[in-house]
Amino acid sequence: MSNKLKKVIEENRDKRDPELDLVDRGIVQLGSDVPGLMQLNHLTRITASHNRIASIPANIADFINLEILNLFNNCLEELPSTLSTMPKLKILNVGMNKLNALPRGFGAFPALEVLDVTYNNLNEHSLPGNFFCLDTLRAMYFGDNDFETLPPEIGRLKNLQILSLRENDLVMLPKEIGDLIRLRELHIQGNRLTVLPPELGNLDLVGMKQVFKAENNPWVTPIADQFQVGVSHVFDYIRSDTYKFLYGRHIAAGAQLPPKTTDKSKKISRVKPK
């Protein structure tokens, strides 16, 4: 451990500062590279972004007061299953890592409100069986991954207000997305979507306080035409009986899917803080 990092840990211990900044410190192992860290159980926030952290120790769960854990832009290939036992964790950011799956039992977080897994290698097979039990979740950032479909269980996340699915390989949205009655932001731009489920019309995503982003999708002509006029026209259209009839025919016909986009993992350049 560098003298600077050692000083950071000692000062935090002496002051009992609830927040610990470990940004861009060259850390590879969150445990062994930072002696004394695991004794700081008063911490409520750890920011360790822009390092080279390859693993998280299982005893991360000993931080029983931790509310925010930011590990953005590291080298994580997996997460410990103990993470979901952390009683107060509200925000988890593991964006821009190398995750192929989320651990078993991940949906057991008792208080998680914000989950950011942007820029990883996740898909519909990466989620554990209980993932959609995260009923405290308010914001879910799944952008820049490899999802082709979204499990229908997404409809269980009744408190979700923000859902980002941009830059995946989505070819279809499940009708259950219409059950997310508190949703106020939906980002689905940059996918392979050609149609929208009529049930999306159940949601209030049109207005000054709402966000609906859907550009860069190969929409069928009737939807593309409505986007030219405005988002409110899109929602009026997908609520219509005419669209519901056309949607049913489109699904029944099994329309040919647009080709996949290029491998996103090859396009991502690792970033450093300014």
Give the pLDDT confidence of 146-157 residue by residue, as tens digits. 999 999 999 999
Q: How confident is the model at residue 31 (pLDDT cuts 50, 70, 90)?
A: confident
Condensed to tens digits (0 to 9), the pLDDT of residues 75-134 reads 999 999 999 999 999 999 999 999 999 999 999 999 999 999 999 999 999 999 999 999
Assigned domain for 70 exists: yes
Residue 273: predicted pLDDT: 42
Residues facing 47 on adjacent strands: 21, 70
SS3 164: strand
Question: In terms of residue numbers, what domain contains 23?
Answer: 3-137
Residue 58: predicted pLDDT: 95
SS3 57: coil
Assigned domain for 110 exists: yes
CA quadruple 114, 120, 122, 126: dihedral positive or negative? negative
Q: How confident is the model at residue 255 (pLDDT cuts 50, 70, 90)?
A: low
Q: How confident is the model at residue 270 (pLDDT cuts 50, 70, 90)?
A: very low
Mean pLDDT, range 29-36, rounded to an integer: 88
Q: How many CB atoms lie within 10 A of CB 45?
A: 17
**What is the CATH number for 88?**
3.80.10.10
Q: How confident is the model at residue 33 (pLDDT cuts 50, 70, 90)?
A: confident
Q: How confident is the model at residue 32 (pLDDT cuts 50, 70, 90)?
A: confident
66 in Cβ contact with 42 (< 8 Å): no
The residues, any chain, with a CB within 8 Å of residue 76's CB and separated by 6 or more, are 53, 54, 55, 56, 94, 97, 98, 99
Quick check: 1 pLDDT over 60?
no
Q: How confident is the model at residue 267 (pLDDT cuts 50, 70, 90)?
A: very low
Q: Compute the distance between CA of residue 146 and CA of residue 156 in angstroms, rounded to an integer.
A: 22
Assigned domain for 263 exists: no
Task: Please provide the average confidence, as pLDDT, over all residues in the chain.
Answer: 92
Condensed to tens digits (0 to 9), the pLDDT of residues 132-148 reads 999 999 999 999 999 99
Assigned domain for 190 exists: no
Q: Compute the distance between CA of residue 156 and CA of residue 134 in angstroms, rounded to an integer.
A: 8
Assigned domain for 267 exists: no
∠ CA 41-43-48, rounded to 5°:
115
Assigned domain for 122 exists: yes
Assigned domain for 199 exists: no
Condensed to tens digits (0 to 9), the pLDDT of residues 49-68 reads 999 999 999 999 999 999 99
Residue 86: predicted pLDDT: 97
Domain count, the chain: 1
Q: Compute the distance between CA of residue 5 and CA of residue 93 in angstroms, rounded to an integer.
A: 22
Tokens 């799944």 belong to residue: 142
Residues facing 164 on adjacent strands: 141, 187
Q: How confident is the model at residue 272 (pLDDT cuts 50, 70, 90)?
A: very low
Residue 274: predicted pLDDT: 36
Residue 254: predicted pLDDT: 74
Assigned domain for 34 exists: yes
